[in-house]
Amino acid sequence: YVLDEPSIGLHQRDNERLLGTLIHLRDLGNTVIVVEHDEDAIRAADHVIDIGPGAGVHGGEVVAEGPLEAIMAVPESLTGQYMSGKRKIEVPKKRVPANPEKVLKLTGARGNNLKDVTLTLPVGLFTCITGVS
């Protein structure tokens, strides 16, 4: 099996199911190859191949490969640095306050899973809408 980023768009609950299915396929004796950037998928893998060192024209080389512990031991591996906690994406200490006068209002949104949803979204902020889809 070869899959390209199968976790894209999945809720964490569904991601756990996906990983369980991939592990089950492996346990049945199948080879499972996944191109993935999801932390849980990387941690679940028996063997990791980290390609880089950068993206696009700045990458294309095998930076590290082996079990996750081996990847985390290679200083040139950005994946290893993030997985080990040596690098992290900082959560902003200061948040931009919402301006209650600048909003985008959606009323009666319907389609796919939406059932007459009304939302008021702040303008000029990073807003995340989440949930099981």
Would 10 be classed as within a structural domain? yes
Would 58 be classed as within a structural domain? yes
Weakest-pLDDT range from 30-39, 41-50, 109-118: 109-118
Q: What is the pLDDT of residue 15?
A: 96
**Residues 57-110: pLDDT tens digits?**
888 899 999 999 999 999 999 999 999 999 999 998 999 999 999 999 999 999
Q: What is the rounded average pLDDT for all residues in the chain?
A: 93
> Residues with Cβ < 8 Å from 12, sequence gap 6 or more?
none
Question: Residue 58: phi, psi to the nearest 5?
Answer: -90, 5
Would 128 be classed as within a structural domain? no
User: What are the strands, taking DSSP E only, across the chain?
Assistant: 2-4, 33-35, 48-52, 61-66, 103-111, 114-122
Q: CA 13, CA 29: separation in Å to the nearest integer?
A: 25
Would 66 be classed as within a structural domain? yes
Inter-CA distances, 89 with 42, 50, 57, 74, Å: 17, 19, 24, 19
State how many domains the chain has: 1
| pLDDT exceeds cutoff 90 at 1 | yes
Q: CA 34, CA 22: separation in Å to the nearest integer?
A: 9
Percent of the chain's residues with pLDDT above 70: 99
| pLDDT exceeds cutoff 70 at 133 | no
Mean pLDDT of 119-131: 90
Going by the DSSP 8-state scheme, the letter that residue 133 receives in this structure is -
Which of 100, 76, 78, 95 lies closest to 87 in space, CA to CA?
78
Would 115 be classed as within a structural domain? no
Tell me, yes or no, if the pTM score tops 0.85. no
Q: What is the pLDDT of residue 58?
A: 86
Would 37 be classed as within a structural domain? yes
Q: What is the pLDDT of residue 113?
A: 79
- Give the domain range for residue 38: 2-84
Would 119 be classed as within a structural domain? no
CATH number of the domain to which 38 belongs? 3.40.50.300
